[in-house]
Homo-oligomer: A and B are copies of this chain.
Amino acid sequence: MTAPLDAIFAALADPTRRAILAMLLEDDMAVTDVAHPFAMSLAAISKHLGVLADAGLITQEKRGRVKWCKLEPDAMRAASVWMQGFGQFEPVNLDAFERFLEAELNGPENP
C-alpha cells in the first residue's frame, strides 16, 4: 500500500532524507548508523526516518534492540512513473541532466 504522491514528494524534498535514501541504496542500516555521518541529533534522524517510512520509501523492522531501515523502491518508482509522463514527448536534454546531477553530487546534501 503506497503512500500518496504528496507524502512521497514531500519526503524527497529534504536533502538529508535524500542522502539517507542514497545510503540505504548500498545496504540496510540501523538508525544509529544512519545518523552517524550527519551533524544533527539522533532524534532528528529518527524523525526523518519516520517521514520516509510514512511515505513508503523505506520500511523499518526491529530486530533485538536495533531497528533496521530498508529501502523500499516501489513508492519512488510510482512517483517516477508519474513524472515521466511529463517528459516523454520531448527529446531528453542529456547535457542539462549531467550538469544537474553533477551539481547535486557536489552539493551540501552529500556530506
Residues of A whose CB lies within 8 Å of any CB of B are: 2, 4-6, 9-10, 12-15, 18, 21, 25, 71, 73-74, 76-87, 90, 92-93, 96-97, 99-101, 103-104, 107, 109
Contacts and interface: CB of A to CB of B under 8 A. Distances in A.
A86 to B, nearest CB: 5
Contacts of A78: 96-97, 100-101
Q: Copies of this chain, how many? A: 2
B100 A73 contact: no
**Secondary structure dominating the interface of A:** helix
Given A2-B100, A18-B5, A83 B74 contact: no
A73 B101 contact: no
A98 to B, nearest CB: 10
Nearest to A71: B86
Nearest to A72: B86
A1 to B, nearest CB: 9
Contact of A84 (B9, B80, B93, B99): B80
